[in-house]
Amino acid sequence: MVLLKLLAVGEKPNTYSSLSDALGMSSSEVHASIGRAKSARLLNVENDRFLVIRAALKEFLLHGAKYAFPATLGSPARGIPTAYAAPPLVTLVSQPNELPPVWPDAEGNKRGVTFHPLYPTVPFAARKDRVLYEFLALFDALRGGAARERQLAARILSERVA
pLDDT > 70 fraction of the chain, expressed in percent and rounded:
100
On whether both 103 and 117 belong to a single domain, the answer is yes
Same-domain status, 44 and 92: no
Contacts of 11 (CB under 8 A, 6+ apart): none
Question: 109 and 147 in one domain?
Answer: yes
Side-chain-side CA neighbours of 129 within 13 Å: the count stands at 22
Can you list the residues of the chain whose pLDDT is less than 70? none
> Domain residues for 96?
70-161
Specify the pLDDT at position 95.
76
Domain match, 117 and 129 both: yes
Q: Note the pLDDT of residue 22.
A: 97
High-pLDDT (> 90) share of the chain, %: 90
pLDDT digits (tens, 9 = 90+) for 1-46: 999 999 999 888 899 999 999 999 999 999 999 999 999 999 999 8
